[in-house]
Amino acid sequence: MNKVLIVEDDELIAELERDYLEAGGFEVELIFDGNEGLNRAMAGGWDALILDVMLPGKSGFEVCREVRKSLHLPVIMVTAKSGKAFQSCGIGSQGKIPYPDSRETAGAPGAAKGGRNYREESRHPS
C-alpha cells in the first residue's frame, strides 16, 4: 500500500485530503506542525508528501527544502499562494494544489472523480 504523509495545520483540510486519499487506497498519516512533519518525513517509508505552505513551526517551504536534501519522493504543496511568489521559492516540489476558495469547492476532487460532490456523497453513500 502507498503511504502518504500530510502536513497541514487546518484540521478540516487535512481530514478532507486524508479521506480522499484513503478512498483511493492510500495509507495516510496526518501531522499538524512543520517541525513534527519534518521529523516524520525524515524517518522515511513514505511514497509521497503533501505539505501546506503556512505551518506552525517550520514552513512547508522549509520542510520541503530539508526533505529534498536526503529523500527522493514526490512533494505536493497545498497553498493559497500563487504566481511568481510561489514559483520563485525554488523548492523542487512536483506541483501545487490551491486551497479551495470556499467550503463548497472543497468537494471538487470527488466531483471530478465520480461526477458527484464528494461532501454530498459522504453524507449519502450509495
Question: What pLDDT, in 10s, does the model give residues 76-116?
Answer: 888 776 654 454 345 555 555 555 544 444 443 443 333 33
**Cell numbers representing residue 61 in the block:** 517551504
- Tell me how far CA of residue 113 lies from CA of 19, 23, 47, 58, 110, in angstroms: 14, 11, 22, 33, 5
pTM above 0.85, yes or no: no
Question: Residue 96's pLDDT is what?
Answer: 53
Count CB neighbours of 86 within 10 A: 17
Question: Residue 68's pLDDT is what?
Answer: 87
Question: Residue 110's pLDDT is what?
Answer: 44
Q: What are phi and psi for residue 83, nearest 5 degrees?
A: 60, -145
Question: What pLDDT, in 10s, does the model give residues 27-38?
Answer: 999 999 999 999
Long-range (24+ apart) CB contacts under 8 A made by 19-28 are 19/122, 20/109, 20/110, 20/118, 25/1, 26/1, 26/2, 27/1, 27/2, 27/3, 28/3, 28/4
Task: Name the H helices within 2-117.
Answer: 11-23, 34-42, 60-70, 83-87, 108-114
- Dist. CA 34–CA 60, nearest whole Å: 7
Average pLDDT over residues 17-22: 94
Percent over 90 (pLDDT), the chain: 50
